[in-house]
Structure 1
């Protein structure tokens, strides 16, 4: 054998030995693998591999993935949107199979159940589809507070209250992660508007941050233990959230004790090195400029290797939990029928009965006259990446009612069908787009002729009129969208006159993405059912409630104000932005435009949260402002009585028990809402009362009772004292209020509470003076 061959064999043997000596990633050797990684590999691991919208991707239509390092046994892991279900392409080139996913109820529908088990069921079903289709990671739940009814993504969010939002999100997260899939609460934090979302500066007091906006995420972190959290596009008090070490490292990691991985929103932020230093571990979908900046910063010493290693370590700890790492043998065959059953049940449980004069509902089987465009084009959810464009069907209201034994007026069906075909053809001559961020245009309400109304009132037993509103990503709703259009008002008023003249009832369905005006027209309706947006089984779910098969038990997760502008926060929200392109400005990382000097515009470039802690019912209650329907409100087809309220103190815990009895004639479930009022709240500038716990009964038969138990801690009752940088519960006598809404107290007890103080870091101060609201 020649010397050259011997040398070649020796080199090959050395390479084999080197490969054999390299560690392979396991759950128990993360640090060893970390030390074996090159700087190039580390930098790549902290960046995404681009979006997977193209057909030749492994999972077409999904959001992205992480880099693989095969020599160290590090696989790529795959993530997907969405809040309302797994977003991915339903078809693939050279593949005859359909990759269908379930369109679940919109988030505010889930929150309106006030049922953490319902949220768990939705999360588990979504997590199962992620798992069975071979992915690892879902970019949900969205859980920003509903500061304004006009926020474009309210359909993705849960509530105006941080406890309700956090608890429902925690249920969702636990459900997702029970399937071994990573959940990602987002958008952290104060992403409460879509207008100029990539560059808006949310200016918030430390107290409002701690008590409201951070509080919701604190609840989901401590109750749900999410594997990842997504930072938001916006700035917080002058600093992008993903570049804010006080926010990510000090508050979340040090104070809350969270060990997971932060990921950016897609193309968020400006400075990747600051993001690494702040603890935002992964930047998605990844850009060449980010790789170069991070690599050069480490080489120059501006970014310490210890910081980079901490980021990489958290990414590796996520990877070892995933199905891709475990090489799970997915078959792309989730149980879609089982998931459809979850959709139908949760959608019905989340509907809120707002009005029901003279027991108009439930309806007996009979003849129904369906009015309104939305009666024939139900809106199952919102637009954007949080909505579903890949769901394979939506059950129509016509189908649902027919399946429930109702007869739908054929003449109206033909008239509306013809009108909508023509109207949609004019709006979309080339067909409706498969995907849009902002909601696409919808046809104006059809004008109703006298003859059509008269004949319909004669032929039907009841009229059902559906009002629809759709919102989406990257733009907020205009103020006009809060109100009914002139055509909607006219149609509702005319059919009300016609049917009432014939001695027949009118039911209004609200297929809406966020609260709308009801004050100006509700006298025309005998019953109002807020269906929200219930996913693919919506037609069946609505019919279940209208027929009485399901007794409505939903409660409002957001106040319905009488007029837009009644809430103090409304005066600091972009309700009348002239240039709506600002909504999608800087969407995909074109940060050069952000640096162009121009005069800053209020509510666009910056938004002052002058309402401070007085958001939603906290404002309306504390300042005596009337509302159309209060937070926590919802009627039932039966009645409930509350009795035997007892509060037991054990150390810093306060156990509350109350007996709920079904005193009506139908089986039903009931939500028990526990508010607590602090002593001398005016002097201390505290809300009149605040939600501190809630529970939902099982299905109670007429005459059946259930004792509901809830626990509140002294820490739960604390307010944030900015001067002391501490959570403080003042000693005194507190009123514990068992309520059926924020306006109706059903039982109460006075409880002596001991003082509680917990110091935290003095961080996240506003850089400008805010004109804060005080009681």
Structure 2
């Protein structure tokens, strides 16, 4: 197919993408055998099938597009960003999109719910919206670990723990694919920092790589069978991930059995031929340079035709064989879909919010509170998402102050006037066209300084104070310790001054943390009555905040990453976000730019997050898995049983408090014959249904032996289950153990190389 023909087809497709036809099904496609198609394709057609059509020929709104070949009935595949919801810029005046997407809470919020069923529903909702604009594959979820709290894309990732990441990621994939849209696990692998990402070399030993950074991907691949996997920008032990045959062919495809499409991240890597030979099936976004390079490599013998054919087959298989769930969802009334998704976004946001502090049980807000003073820019201009490919251009957002109004709370008129004159008239973070959003942050205005006299006058007009602190992350750069983890002097002064004046009048002070990741709390937490982490909670965040503050919903979120007292105490802080290894510039982004090479050595090995804190016995502000409720739960009758394929940990959970609520049970384990209890790791979890006061429920957490295996690299055994006395802990956090029990596991009698 010539590029002229492709352009013509693209234009026709562009005009039809948003028409009222249903998405393509198997019966709509011409019946051809894959081998027959492959044998009749020209070399140029094969090359075009394994490279995207490029930015210039992709329909507006789509992140990527593959080539279609009419004579064989091979359709295009439309790829769309979507880890937090589908990313289309419908505000552009030159194009009319058929749907206004829902900005769901970010990945960290969803994981903080510890609710696999809820995450499935969110995935399903995202998939349905993608169906309405005829997208075939969503580029999400992100399965990388939150290795360091300053990671720029942590908001797109789930946790510092691989088991939690893999389980929540699997639920998201299953939800998206339940309505016939493919999901993509990304970024494979070790994309744990954004600074200089295309020239960044991650140095990590095999055992750590397998047990931490690959483990979440492995779980999600094997449990949810995603349609695609996307490689990362970074290098891994000196090799670009998109050019790493061991990573792609040996581990992903052979050991794990992945049979979907492997695609590159956009303009990643340096050599298309090496990418194809390593096992990549689709080079994105694709360009004439990529196609010319592949053709030249074929002619020189650098790339063999059978290697190209292997990639062509995978693209054909995906293009010609829609997911069997495609017919499960019929395109229905879009307004009803969006209405339901907005309600779901609100529920998901509330379920993922984490209550860190509630001194004197000042929450939920008491009935005598009717007027609230809202301090902090984030109360008025709330952040619902990070920037970059994870950003969603929603039709509206509910700021925190608007959520208060929706619950009929009044506001201090004096403070409202002060902030109205201080802040921009419109929220600069609600628009959809600020410089593309890739690392180009709209300016965050510094917090306003308030005098004690001003605060005193405001206090007289209000019954409570809410202070919102916010942080904005984005793709393409990492956060900084000074500007993001640390609390500024202005912020600390605001918290201290407001707290002293309000608490002297017996009025509650609540801090809302509108943040993507942990921040420092040690210097100011004791001044306030309550702290609620709202995260970047999506377009319904303001309403969800007051669902929690009023007690309409009992908080049930738990942290998916540790909150350290000091950033510098973390082992992962060493060398982050990269150390320059040479002053000589190297090409990045397919030769479109140049950068100095950098590296990060994962010297801490497995001592990441709560593992670091437990093993080194550091004190922590809030431990992994922590979260308060408005009620109390009691655990009893713990019992651990060994089954043929798993271990079952059963227990009874009782709501001993006075209000209904849901609990999160976390199960940690350690081989006591080998390690001290400080080496315990999360192996399973379960969120209960909502329990009424005094109600009990029997809960079983099933742990596959896979989660108990270690990777034996020294003896060349691969994954194996060690013999020993395994102690299992039922807990409310990594440091709050409620009960434990030991059982003997026989383990593997002989080591066997496996993935």
Residue by residue over 1:88-128, the C-alpha shift from the partner in whole angstroms, topping out at 9 and shown as x without a partner, is: 12156676676311111011000100011111111111111
Looking at CA atoms only, which structure, 1 or 2, has the larger radius of gyration? 1
* CA separation of 1:447 and 1:85: change in aligned 2, threshold 3 A: same
Which residue number corresponds to residue 31 of structure 1?
Answer: 35
Match of 1:754 among 743, 746, 750: 746
Structure 2 residue 736 is the aligned partner of structure 1 residue 744: yes
CA distance in 1, matches of 2:266, 2:604: 30
Which residue number corresponds to residue 732 of structure 1?
Answer: 724
Which residue number corresponds to residue 664 of structure 1?
Answer: 657
CA distance in 2, matches of 1:414, 1:727: 63
Match of 2:617 among 615, 624, 627: 624
Structure 2 residue 355 is the aligned partner of structure 1 residue 364: no
CA distance in 2, matches of 1:638, 1:671: 13
Which residue number corresponds to residue 175 of structure 1?
Answer: 175
* CA separation of 1:24 and 1:496: change in aligned 2, threshold 3 A: closer
Structure 2 residue 494 is the aligned partner of structure 1 residue 491: yes
Residue by residue over 1:495-517, the C-alpha shift from the partner in whole angstroms, topping out at 9 and shown as x without a partner, is: 01110111211100101011100
Q: What is the CA distance between 1:395 and its match in structure 2?
A: 0.7
The answer to whether the Cα contact below 8 Å between 2:99 and 2:132 also exists between their aligned partners in 1 is: no
Which residue number corresponds to residue 6 of structure 1?
Answer: none
Structure 2 residue 507 is the aligned partner of structure 1 residue 514: no
Q: Which moved more, 1:41-50 or 1:98-107?
A: 98-107
* 3-state SS of 1:698 partner: coil
Structure 2 residue 578 is the aligned partner of structure 1 residue 589: no
* CA separation of 1:233 and 1:27: change in aligned 2, threshold 3 A: farther
The answer to whether the Cα contact below 8 Å between 1:241 and 1:247 also exists between their aligned partners in 2 is: yes
Which residue number corresponds to residue 609 of structure 1?
Answer: 602
Which residue number corresponds to residue 188 of structure 2?
Answer: 188
The answer to whether the Cα contact below 8 Å between 1:353 and 1:530 also exists between their aligned partners in 2 is: yes
Residue by residue over 1:212-246, the C-alpha shift from the partner in whole angstroms, topping out at 9 and shown as x without a partner, is: 00001001001111010000001101100111110
CA distance in 1, matches of 2:98, 2:75: 26
Which residue number corresponds to residue 134 of structure 2?
Answer: 134
Which residue number corresponds to residue 538 of structure 1?
Answer: 541
* 3-state SS of 1:572 partner: coil
* 3-state SS of 2:186 partner: coil
* CA separation of 1:219 and 1:422: change in aligned 2, threshold 3 A: same
Which residue number corresponds to residue 639 of structure 1?
Answer: 632
Following superposition of structure 1 onto structure 2, how do residues 25-424 of structure 1 map, counting pairs within 5 Å?
29-51=33-55, 58=59, 60-91=60-91, 99-322=99-322, 333=334, 335-365=337-367, 366-388=370-392, 390-421=393-424
Which residue number corresponds to residue 3 of structure 2?
Answer: none
The answer to whether the Cα contact below 8 Å between 1:150 and 1:575 also exists between their aligned partners in 2 is: no
Structure 2 residue 698 is the aligned partner of structure 1 residue 679: no
Q: What is the CA distance between 1:562 and its match in structure 2?
A: 0.4
Q: How many residues align?
A: 718
Q: What is the CA distance between 1:566 and its match in structure 2?
A: 1.3
Q: Unaligned stretches of 5+ in structure 2?
A: 1-26
Which residue number corresponds to residue 719 of structure 1?
Answer: 710
The answer to whether the Cα contact below 8 Å between 1:638 and 1:663 also exists between their aligned partners in 2 is: yes
* CA separation of 1:324 and 1:206: change in aligned 2, threshold 3 A: closer
Q: What is the CA distance between 1:749 and its match in structure 2?
A: 0.7
Residue by residue over 1:555-597, the C-alpha shift from the partner in whole angstroms, topping out at 9 and shown as x without a partner, is: 00000000111111111312899x9xx9xx9664226735xxx
Which residue number corresponds to residue 565 of structure 1?
Answer: 568
Q: What is the CA distance between 1:493 and its match in structure 2?
A: 0.8
CA distance in 2, matches of 1:209, 1:27: 43
* CA separation of 1:241 and 1:761: change in aligned 2, threshold 3 A: farther
The answer to whether the Cα contact below 8 Å between 1:273 and 1:294 also exists between their aligned partners in 2 is: yes
The answer to whether the Cα contact below 8 Å between 2:385 and 2:537 also exists between their aligned partners in 1 is: yes
Cα root mean square deviation, aligned: 2.7
Q: Which moved more, 1:526-535 or 1:319-328?
A: 319-328
Q: What is the CA distance between 1:758 and its match in structure 2?
A: 5.0
The answer to whether the Cα contact below 8 Å between 1:557 and 1:632 also exists between their aligned partners in 2 is: yes
CA distance in 1, matches of 2:685, 2:459: 43
* 3-state SS of 2:188 partner: coil
CA distance in 2, matches of 1:96, 1:333: 15
Which residue number corresponds to residue 767 of structure 1?
Answer: none
CA distance in 2, matches of 1:411, 1:665: 38
Residue by residue over 1:467-515, the C-alpha shift from the partner in whole angstroms, topping out at 9 and shown as x without a partner, is: 1011001100111120111111111111011101112111001010111
The answer to whether the Cα contact below 8 Å between 1:354 and 1:529 also exists between their aligned partners in 2 is: yes
Which residue number corresponds to residue 9 of structure 1?
Answer: none
Q: What is the CA distance between 1:326 and its match in structure 2?
A: 8.6
TM-score, scaled relative to structure 1: 0.88
CA distance in 2, matches of 1:264, 1:443: 37
The answer to whether the Cα contact below 8 Å between 2:53 and 2:67 also exists between their aligned partners in 1 is: yes
Q: What is the CA distance between 1:62 and its match in structure 2?
A: 2.3
Match of 1:441 among 440, 443, 448: 443
* 3-state SS of 1:226 partner: coil
CA distance in 1, matches of 2:493, 2:51: 54
Q: What is the CA distance between 1:716 and its match in structure 2?
A: 2.0
Q: What is the CA distance between 1:262 and its match in structure 2?
A: 0.2
Q: What is the CA distance between 1:452 and its match in structure 2?
A: 2.1
Which residue number corresponds to residue 13 of structure 1?
Answer: none
Which residue number corresponds to residue 4 of structure 2?
Answer: none
CA distance in 1, matches of 2:311, 2:97: 39
